[in-house]
Amino acid sequence: MSFVDSYRKFMERNSDPRTENWWLMSGPGPLLTILATYLYFCNSVGPRYMRDRKPYDLKNVMIVYNISQILMSIYLVYEGLVAGWWNDYNFSCQPVDYSDSPQAKRMAAAVWWYFAAKIIELLDTIFFVLRKKNRQISFLHLYHHFMMPICAWIGVKFLPGGHGTLLGVINSFIHIIMYSYYLISGLGPQYQKYLWWKKHLTTMQLIQFCIIFYHNFTVMFGDCNYPKGINFLLSLNAGLFLYMFGMFYYNSYVKNRRATPNHEGTKVRYTVTNGITKNPIANGNTTTDVVTNGKTKEC
């Protein structure tokens, strides 16, 4: 009972009364239930359900979803800038405005919509499961989609405005570009030639975490009326994302490029069947493609 009483006193003392009646803001229970269900479906129920089924064709659904995410991200960037960061917000130190002024309430609403967007983005992983793209569900992917709703919920419940909201503006801007990439990639193979900038998208994600880390970490050593504990948690989370995205970047674009073998002087075996040359398949230092009743040519 002492724990329950302490919890109630903490919530009463620190919660923002302006947001306590908003959707999913009564307490952490509803959000934790959603996230637990999300993890259970993506790691257990979903893969077992899809094991003996063909992948769902979600092309049209994905197009609508990606367009919706782009529009939502544009809205969040606009609201975050107009409600504060384009106007009188201070990049060095910005306390939370808990008043009922139109600007303060507009920023609080923008923070809630950012939280709602993080809930909707859980569909990213669910679509992977239904399309049997389980290899794309990495620890980084699950950690990102699990932690971001929690961070956003804390923002709405206790700090709907102020210094930490720059994270939402930057992240939403990156999501405009990211979901544009997803939209183009989902249109079909004929559009793959327009996706040469995938590497640069990852670079932009790394830059955003560098900015967020610096923006929150430096405030911890100054006199600012913003909770230093929240600054520490935001900095820690940005640092973890920076490390994990950095490892992804290294493994995808640096390590693989270094590991690419030099094919000069390598023997390549091609199989020709009825005058048609098949695509070679890499096999160690020799590339071969064996086809029954075919004539093999070595060069």
> pLDDT tens-digit profile of 89-146?
999 999 999 999 999 999 999 999 999 999 999 999 999 999 999 999 999 899 999 9
Residue 199 pLDDT class (50, 70, 90 cuts): confident
Q: Which residues participate in catalysis according to the annotation?
A: 144
pLDDT at 22: 96
Q: Tell me the pLDDT tens digit for each residue of 59-99.
A: 999 999 999 999 999 999 999 999 999 989 999 999 999 99
First to last CA, the chain: 80
Q: Tell me the pLDDT tens digit for each residue of 148-175.
A: 999 999 999 999 999 999 999 999 999 9
125's tokens: 């992983």
pLDDT at 261: 54
Q: Give the whole-angstrom CA distance, residue 134 versus residue 128.
A: 6
pLDDT at 258: 63
Whole-Å CA distances, 68 to 23, 58, 71, 144, 289:
20, 15, 5, 20, 44
Contact call for residues 106 and 140 (beta carbons, < 8 A): no
Percent of all residues in the chain with a pLDDT value above 70, rounded to a whole number:
85
70's tokens: 């782009």
pLDDT at 125: 97
pLDDT: is 51 or 190 the higher one? 51
Residue 287 pLDDT class (50, 70, 90 cuts): very low
DSSP 8-state assignment for residue 222: S
Q: Tell me the pLDDT tens digit for each residue of 13-60.
A: 999 999 999 999 999 999 999 999 999 999 999 999 999 999 999 999
pLDDT at 1: 62
pLDDT at 254: 82
297's tokens: 């040519």
> Is the pLDDT assigned to residue 270 strictly greater than 80?
no
Give the CA angle between residues 143, 144, 149 to the nearest 5°. 105
Reference 122, options 152, 138, 142; nearest CA is 142
> Is the pLDDT assigned to residue 276 strictly greater than 60?
no
Average pLDDT of the residues of the chain: 86
> Is the pLDDT assigned to residue 273 strictly greater than 60?
no
How many other C-beta atoms are found inside a 10 Å radius of the C-beta of residue 154?
A: 17
> Is the pLDDT assigned to residue 256 strictly greater than 80?
no
Angle between helices 139-158 and 228-249 (to 10 degrees): 160
pLDDT at 259: 57
> Is the pLDDT assigned to residue 201 strictly greater than 90?
no
Whole-Å CA distances, 110 to 44, 107, 220:
34, 5, 25
Contact call for residues 5 and 127 (beta carbons, < 8 A): no
